[in-house]
Chains A and B, each alone.
Chain A
Amino acid sequence: MNGPLLRHTWRSQRLRLLAVALALFGWGLVLPIVYAQFGATFRSLLESGIIPPAIANFGGGDIFTLPGSIALGFVHPIALILVCVFAVGFAASAIAGERQRGTLEVLLSRPVSRRTVYATLLASTFGFVAIAISAYLAGMFASATAAGVAGEIDASRLPLVWLNGLLLFGAIGSIALAASVSFDRLAPALGVTLAILLVSYFCEILGTLWPDAAWLQPYSLFHYLETREILTGSPDPFAFGLLSVVAVVAIGYALVVFPRRDLAAPS
């Protein structure tokens, strides 16, 4: 890793990171309060048969239990968009964006190898995602404590939830960085990453809502976000392994492709 590049990257993202972290902290506050206030009511509605059973497992979460609420908050589009500010937005533009602006060649004219540049930006991506997820979990735990329902989860399992989230969004970030090193312009890098992300999200959500489409779920990265399972004590280690493999493959691809690419003069 390169110290000056790392410092420059964090300095340039600090306000965005603060805004995203505050927003996720705020989002984390919401669902435990909703659960504490209306969970029992929703559960009785579900048991009365008014709410279709599929809704009870939207994206691997629900609002009838605290672990379900936390899981639902994680896969909700609001959380997804906020975390993806870094996992997709930052990562996809990290190299393709600099290339498009022409600043990559100023950077690479210094004694920094392309692999070092990549490793520094990868570490930054994981760092930003880690902070974003921490903010969400901190908000969630603060809210659950304030609402008096924190005792319904085993707090010692939260680091595992954090790790699982980090691996999911880290894998997405690694894919975005792999796209970023492959293109000279930001738009295709962002487009490819968003396409993968949306298809993956669609497969998971469709699978949870429609039993006939459940076979699509294993093809979605979001299927391996095991928040509820971790908090209820039955996580699948395969999920951690698979997300790690996806990240490693994307990182390996980038480490091979980026140093070998010809960087022609920006047009």
Chain B
Amino acid sequence: MNAIQTAGLTKHYGHRPPPIHPPFGQPTGIVRALDDLTVSVREGEIFGFLGPNGAGKSTMIRLLLGFLHPTSGHATVLGRDIVLDSVEIRRRVGYLPGGVALYDSLTGEAQLDYMADLAGRRPVLRGELLDRLELSTRTLGRLVRDYSRGMRQKIGIVQAIQHDPELAILDEPTEGLDPLMQRAFYDILDERKAAGRTIFFSSHVLSEVERVCDRVAIIRQGRLVALEDVAGLLARRKRNVEMRLSGPAPVLAGVPGVSALALDDGRLTCQLEGDVGPFLRAIAGAPIADLTIEPAHLEEAFLEFYAEDSGAAEAEPTPSREAGSAAVGEAR
């Protein structure tokens, strides 16, 4: 069973424009926050939801949790309908909102107790999470209003996971965390995954998605641009190759996967995509003084997706939906 399954999920804000605008009135259009999104998150995986600000990430999360009502389409979370069974879904889910807001008049401990009481489940993971995130008893005894942004974020993470939910939905979870705490947080995610829990998190920090996610969906302007395994996405990305030569350059033109070939004063650069075998065979025996092959970063993949999507957008009236559908089909 999929932890999350959406089918044509759509959310539009605003009203239909009137047929005739009043003389001085502003036209009121519809904002397409999410358009025809079909995506599935498997149980037990860490799923990254990527997109720039305003792409529709938070809209998607808010739809899943029942804060928003879909304009059309259908979705289930842990097998339950998001419209009909919202309370039951929230009983089994942990949620960290983006820029989490806490009750300033409570201490950290009282805040966590209150959240656990509301969840109706014992906070079985609290002690372990507090240790990992270095939140001491003394810190928890202070009022939340005195907390730094990072400490608030830690409390937000603990309240979302402390009751060991089957699915954790985390909106930009590492915002405000220092690198050490980010690493501790990634370890927590890995352990939750090992325990069979599902993690769905949105981010625009590509390196963390690359570090922790099994699969990633990329959305743009409310539409799905890609949905793939992170490993597959990286494998398909072009690598940047640079070699310094002490003699004649090897013949790389026509080698499968090689592109953007350039030779300048004994320095050869190119891009390499897919299987590296043909490339290695082509450079075997060449007088290479130094060779660098940069690993593909998700950021480049991400930017490439956006570049492709933007390019297609100029040619086609509704390109991203097609791109999204194709990607979904591929993922399935």
Residues on A close to B: CB < 8 A? 2-5, 7-8, 12, 101-103, 105-113, 260, 262-266
Contacts and interface: CB of A to CB of B under 8 A. Distances in A.
A110 B118 contact: yes
22 contacts: A4-B114, A4-B118, A7-B117, A8-B114, A12-B103, A102-B100, A102-B101, A103-B101, A103-B103, A105-B97, A105-B101, A106-B101, A108-B67, A109-B93, A109-B95, A110-B119, A111-B90, A112-B118, A263-B62, A263-B67, A263-B68, A265-B59
Contacts of B13: 262, 264
A5 B118 contact: yes
Interface of B: 13, 58-59, 62, 65-69, 86-88, 90-91, 93, 95, 97-103, 105, 114-115, 117-120, 159
B316 to A, nearest CB: 30
A5 B118 CA distance: 7
Given A112-B87, A263-B62, A264-B68, 7 more contacts: A8-B114, A12-B103, A105-B67, A106-B115, A110-B115, A110-B118, A111-B90
Contacts of B120: 110-111
B105 to A, nearest CB: 6
B100 A106 contact: yes
Contact of A102 (B95, B97, B114): B97
Contacts of B105: 12
A119 B41 CA distance: 35
A109 B62 contact: no
A103 B117 CA distance: 16
Contacts, number: 71
A266 B115 CA distance: 20
Given A108-B67, A109-B90, A109-B95, A266 B101 contact: yes
Given A2-B118, A264-B68, A101 B88 contact: no
Across chains A and B, which 3 residue pairs bring their CB atoms closest together, nearest first?
Answer: A102-B101, A4-B117, A111-B91
A107 B62 contact: no
Nearest to B66: A108
A12 B111 CA distance: 12
B65 to A, nearest CB: 6
Contacts of B97: 102, 105-106, 109
A101 B87 contact: no
Contacts of B65: 108-109
Contacts of A2: 118
Nearest to B120: A111
A12 B105 CA distance: 8
A106 B98 CA distance: 11
B7 to A, nearest CB: 20
A113 B118 contact: no
Contacts of B59: 265
B266 to A, nearest CB: 54
B111 to A, nearest CB: 9
B160 to A, nearest CB: 8
A266 B114 CA distance: 22
B159 A106 contact: yes
